[in-house]
A = this chain, B = another copy of it.
Amino acid sequence: MSLVRVQHFSISLDGFGTGEGQSRDAPFGHAGERLHDWMFETQWGRRMLGESGGTAGVDDSFLRLFTPGIGAEIMGAGKYGYPGWHEDPEWKGPWGSNPPFHTPVFVLTHHPRPPIEMEGGTTFHFIDASPAKALEAARKAAGGKDIRIGGGPTMIREFLKAGLVDHMHIVVVPILLGRGVRLWDGLESLEKSYNIESVSSPVGVTHMTFTRAAGH
């Protein structure tokens, strides 16, 4: 069965999935790269940067689950670009000509535009839709494979509230951002719908996996 998955979404210890003051030069606002530094210690992360080396333990193992089995991604407008990108007709996301998705990607936006085909198999589709409707569109495009819920925090929260997430991998980074966009707001008792496991890694982050519980 095709699952709806969140893969390695990083939050601060105080629950922020992105910082305050996001801009073209600072996609995560005042958080900078601090939520994602742990990724670039791994083999998977180094390869993303075009480098070699890196760790091959628990952090790397979780990251390698990013691509296998995924047929499409849904992402929020704030992941696709800086505030105001919809006024720039040339904007094609921050990933360069060959984005790391290699599948159809559905961008949730109140300003739809025609699809953009990139190198490497990524095509961006722009839709103004509810989580359920967006998931329907992504499922059609995914050829029976899983759907990745790409973030940011606001859209993950909305998919969780709608009960649409089957599996979620959250990475708690031991920093206190103090401000930004919280992941957990309004999700009281979410734990009742999931089996939750936690494991801390030597670099200091804690991986938490949420797997939908039987009957939920």
- Residues on A lying within 8 angstroms of B by beta carbon are 13-15, 172, 174-179, 184-191, 196-200, 204-206, 208
Contact = CB atoms under 8 A, between A and B. Distances in A.
Q: Is the interface of A mostly helix, strand, loop or mixed?
A: loop
A76 to B, nearest CB: 20
A208 B186 CA distance: 25
Contact of A188 (B172, B178, B191, B200): B178
B187 A178 contact: yes
Nearest to A160: B176
Q: 7 shortest A-B CB distances, which residue pairs?
A: A178-B188, A14-B184, A198-B200, A174-B196, A176-B190, A175-B191, A200-B200
Copies of this polypeptide in the complex = 2
Contacts of A187: 14, 176, 178
Contacts of A190: 176
22 contacts: A13-B184, A14-B15, A14-B184, A14-B185, A15-B15, A174-B191, A174-B196, A174-B208, A175-B191, A176-B187, A177-B188, A178-B184, A178-B186, A178-B187, A178-B189, A179-B188, A197-B204, A198-B200, A198-B204, A198-B205, A199-B200, A200-B206
B178 A198 contact: no
Nearest to A14: B184
A141 B81 CA distance: 58
A191 B206 CA distance: 15
A171 B179 CA distance: 22
Given A172-B172, A174-B196, 9 more contacts: A13-B184, A14-B184, A14-B185, A176-B184, A196-B204, A198-B204, A198-B206, A200-B200, A206-B206
B176 A191 contact: yes
Contacts of A172: 172, 206
A83 to B, nearest CB: 22
Contacts of A200: 198-200, 206
Nearest to A34: B191
A13 B187 CA distance: 11
A193 to B, nearest CB: 10
